[in-house]
Structures are given as C-alpha cells and as structure tokens.
Amino acid sequence: MIRKRSVENSDAKPRRVATGAAIMQPAVTDALTRALFEDWAEHGYVGISLERVAQRAGVGKAALYRRWPSKLAMVSERLNHVGIDLASLEDTGTLEGDIRAMLLQLRRVLRHRLVRRILPDLHAEMQRNPALAGDVRGRLQTARRGRAASVVQRAIARGELKATTDVTLFNDAAGGMLYWRVIITRETADRAYIEGLVQFILGGLSSEQTGRPPG
C-alpha cells in the first residue's frame, strides 16, 4: 500500500521523502519557531537542543528534521524568516518622518522580551562561529542595512540630501545608538529619546551636506 503522506508529529527521523511528500503544516512550523527562540533565550545558542525544541513545540523530532537538517540551518533560516517583518520601511514623504518611522520600528523589535535576551548571545556566538556569522552578515545584516539605505535614497530623490551622503555612516548611527540604548545599557528609549535621536541624526546629516561640524 502506497503511503500518501507522512504524519507531522512522527518520532522517527525520515530517511527519504515519502510518496506524495510530507505536508508542511504552517502551525507546526510556527510552533517550532516559537520553541526555538524560547529555548535559545533560556540556554544560549550553544545550549539549544533540537530535541527539546521539538518537545516544547509538542511535535516529534521528525517534524523538525523534515524542515531543517541541523541547528545552524534552523537558526539561520528562522532568523531570516522573522526578519521579513522588517522588509519595508514606511515612506512618510520626508526624511525626518522616515527616520522616525525607522527608529520606532526598530525599537519595537528590540523591546521584544526574547530579542533582548537573544541578540547579545547571537553577537557573541558570531565571534566564535564563522558559519553562523557568515549567514547572519550575508543575509540579515545586508538586508537590514539595505532597508535603512532606502531612507537615504528617498531623501536624495526628494532633494533633501546630496547624492554623496554617507549611507554607511547613517546606518551605523541610526541602528547602533538605539541598539546600544535598548540592548546593552537597558536604559529607557521612550518617545522623547526617539525624538532626540531623530534630531541628532538629522543634525549630523545636515552638517555633512554643508561640510561644517554640527553646533
């Protein structure tokens, strides 16, 4: 009798794709994703157990291995997937509005309870794990910096900035300061702080246009 599809919560690690292929249920993928990040937040990257992740998700190991062959593969693909939430930045019509929208979006991500615990560990692990570092830098960081660069490109198109504006410096200033505030020092990043940061970045960009130091 030909088996039409495999069961998602089977405990046996599949050796081949069954006839008809296994149906990848989105709900199972979502449960495994949540379980992965919960486990990571508790145990760090080194301590992640895929068996424990499957148990947390309430599925068999086969459901996990059917999707990802290793911890690195799962972590890399899931990090890239959740990054889709930041795929685009609102075009508010002005450079100031775009910077504000970008910082508010980034703050929302950085404030997430799991993100606050995982990010420092991720960056520490990247120093020890070339494969993880290459994947994160090759896809996630490139995509993030590309989205931020779009803010500068729109401002150039509007005539608000010169075509020679240093996009790399803008990226470092916009993302680095808020990351330091929320993740490293754990200080408040309220609306007043965001507004101050918007004006600080605008001031830096303005001085770059005139060639004069700020102040």
Residues 57 and 103 in one domain: no
Q: Residue 58 region, left (φ>0) first, then alpha (ψ -120 to 50), else beta?
A: left
Q: Under a CB-based contact definition with an 8 Å cutoff, are residues 21 and 5 in contact?
A: yes
Tell me what percent of the residues of the chain surpass a pLDDT of 70. Answer: 83
What would the pLDDT profile of 164-212 be if each residue is shown by its tens digit?
Answer: 999 888 988 888 899 999 999 999 999 999 999 999 999 988 876 665 5
Q: Under a CB-based contact definition with an 8 Å cutoff, are residues 202 and 99 in contact?
A: yes
For residue 175, is it within any domain? yes
**Cβ contacts of 2 within 8 Å, gap of 6 or more:** 19, 20
Residues 40 and 129 in one domain: no
pTM: 0.77
In angstroms, rounded to a whole number, what is the distance separating the alpha carbons of residues 145 and 175? 9
For residue 114, is it within any domain? yes
For residue 201, is it within any domain? yes
Say how many domains are in the chain: 2
pLDDT for the residue 161: 94
Confidence band (pLDDT; 50, 70, 90) for 15? very low
For residue 4, is it within any domain? no
Residues 107 and 74 in one domain: no
5 pLDDT more than 70: no
What would the pLDDT profile of 32-70 be if each residue is shown by its tens digit?
Answer: 999 999 999 999 999 999 999 999 999 999 999 999 999
Residues 58 and 104 in one domain: no
Q: Under a CB-based contact definition with an 8 Å cutoff, are residues 77 and 54 in contact?
A: no
- Among the candidates 35, 53, 78, a domain finishes at 78
Residues 72 and 109 in one domain: no
Instruction: Quote the domain boundaries for residue 52.
Output: 26-78
Residues 56 and 126 in one domain: no
- CATH code assigned at 174: 1.10.357.10
